[in-house]
Amino acid sequence: MPDARAVAHSLSDTDHRVFWLDGIEAVAYEPLQGGTRGDLTIVGAGHTGLWAAVQAKRRDPSARVVLLESGLVGSGASVRNGGFAESSLGDHGDGRRRWPHEFEALERVGLENLCGLERDICDLGIDAEIEPTGILSVAYDADQVRRLKQAEHGFWYDADSIRSEIASPIFRAGRWRTDVCVLVNPGKLSTGLARAATELGVVIHEQSAVTGVDTQAGGAVRVRTASGHVDSQQVALCTNAFRPLLHRARYLRASANEYLMTTEPLTDEQLASVGWRNRQGLVDMDTHVHRARLTADNRILCAAMHLPQRRFGYSFAPEPFTSLASSFMATFPQLEGVRFSHRWAGAIDTLNQSFAFNGLAHSRSVAHADGFAGRGVAGSRLVAGIMLKHLYGQTTPTRRGSVAG
């Protein structure tokens, strides 16, 4: 383990703020005041809600779509992640056990969605700093090496070749898949989707926390806030890591903490000492608890998931950051002396089945989705489309199942 004084030095000047929001000019949206009507009301302006809004207007440009956000657009879990847009919709091992006959179809749908994500970002003119570099999984011990070697796809690295790819003394093997992940800037993706949605005619209201959802006479659904309400025929609940508005969903999910930090920009010499010429997203074999990547300005971002929490919030203890910095220095001892510039944390929603789920409520007028378990950067786009199909009767929703409705 690295020296504790070196770890403390690396954290001594760290700012508590989300790196992805640096340099982004926020657009203010007025809170909802009074009553209004819409064809579709969306609750939550994270990636899922924003994708749902964009897709709904693309599907029917004449539809009135109202998007309600309790805080600010893109301020929740959607920007409190590492920017790994993965094709996977959940834990592979769990998925194979639960849906052995459908798992190949789930993988295919996930890969198609990832291609669609890249295409849509380009078509919408969003500068999300996309890097289609894939994921490099690394192993630290003999059991992880054995499991990684049994994987079916990707480029295999033994101990010598993996350290030539990324210079770390603790890596014992690796496998690189180029087709299952692209890296993005989730802050720019959020603001870009919001801009695209408003250009398509979506009405966004910030600081408009929803207090209730009720079915009205005649079949309309009323979404209430403290200062107003929206009546519409269809509602999409996209609150994810926040407390579910549907009582039934509260027992199917829990929140976990993700802690993230970025270093100061590396010099050319420091970057050369690490290698990493192919700029892959880096994950470990411990159920992908630890992740690392390079940002556009050559910082190293590292992240770790910690124990579940009962309440959603952004007040976190310092110990996980110290542990994360220690792990970083053990991985890259040649970077001792590099300081961390940003540290932040956020909650992500998880499930005991480790796969996103979706469903309908209020006589099939309200769609909901939860449980991305850290894979929502790309999965949010797919789930948003499935919710719209559920609402408009184009597919059959699953029952506590995966997103493959």
For residue 323, what are the contacts with CB-CB under 8 A and spacing of at least 6?
A: 304
Q: Please, which residues bridge with residue 293 across strands?
A: 301
**Spatial contact of 379 and 113, defined as CB atoms under 8 Å apart:** yes
What global pTM score does this model have? 0.90
**Percent of the chain, pLDDT > 70?**
82
Average pLDDT across the chain, whole number: 86
pLDDT at 57 over 60: yes
- Give 311-366 pLDDT, tens digit per residue: 444 445 678 899 999 999 999 999 999 999 999 988 776 665 555 666 677 677 88
Q: Please, which residues bridge with residue 68 across strands?
A: 43, 205
- What is the β-pairing status of strands 290-294 and 155-157? unpaired
Strand segments (E) across 295-389: 300-309, 340-350, 357-361, 366-370
**Spatial contact of 405 and 396, defined as CB atoms under 8 Å apart:** yes
- All domains in the chain, ordered by first residue: 31-130+182-250+353-405 (3.50.50.60)
What are phi and psi for residue 349, nearest 5 degrees?
-90, 135
Summarize the confidence of residues 124-131 as an average pLDDT. 97
Q: SS3 of 186, please?
A: helix
pLDDT for residue 168: 95
How far from each other are the two terminal CA atoms of the chain, in whole angstroms? 47
